Structure 1
């Protein structure tokens, strides 16, 4: 099985298409990374809020412990400080949750920006490459004996312009009926070449 045509304009088109798909994928991967970073940057304020409130929670906890040690009124002094620390803890958790959601959204946006346009192009490009590979494999199976060349010779006589047939033989139909293996091989090879398929094995030319 061959993935590429023999040297021809068809091979140039195949290589050009492959290069386009590669460049397209790299371009959209870069775009996805850029958008991922841009959206992730929106989580910065939430992360800063989380860090600042976490530091305040620590300060209020320390103050509450110190206030609790005051004889007689320690419990009363500590209660509002503990309550403030609890509210700040909730605020820190909310900020952390918001940052996580933004970062997840950034990951999703980055993946979709890459995946959707690349999938559209690959959905067009890949079936064509697979069809060519399948035709190439089938052609190789069909030319495993001299008798199989008749099929491609008939295809050549049915599809080639008359001037190309004349360059192969003055009367290709008569040569085919007479079993002229040289003309049949030339016709078959021309048909394969026109399809961009691999040439005939040396022993069958």
Structure 2
């Protein structure tokens, strides 16, 4: 049995991260792992010496722009040097990372976070449509997607035009709209000695509990733990 920390929280204006974090905890605990959910990135970073993997689902960023005026004072966040160092060291030394849905948006003034995750949201370039029906298509073979259908549908958002890092192995794609090019929505890679998976789905608990996404998440946890 391994110990998995789940970092779930941040600005609640567009997501119920408490519900999503609890859903991820349920999915991971079904594998027999010990799970702890925390809301604060600095607290999660302080725990990393005692865990084998970290799952991240939340929004912790500077909240620049007038749109975020109502939430900025309470929820704007920049990771301090100690948190950055601990997260980088954890993954590079073999800790597993599962980055879910909004994770590439987080820590937007820390470029290396995009290197760790394998991709990052680019303000003014990246975008997503409203929550709706999404057709997912597998494009790679990997333990993370083993046994999943070649195509399946899920209700969620598709993040597109992100800055995807070289060397990631794209495992699934989807479109934001009918004329959109394929957007990478699931990928795997290694950062140093650590195994990393990005699953672009998980807007809410129902997406996390979707049978195919739940299987993907459990296989992702199993794979990232192999690097620890």
Answer whether TM exceeds 0.5 for this pair.
Answer: no
Q: Which has the higher contact order (CA 8 A, sep 6+)?
A: 1
Q: What is the TM-score of this pair, normalised by structure 1? A: 0.21
Greater share of residues in helix: 1
Q: What is the TM-score of this pair, normalised by structure 2? A: 0.19
Query: Who wins on radius of gyration, i.e. which is larger?
Result: 1
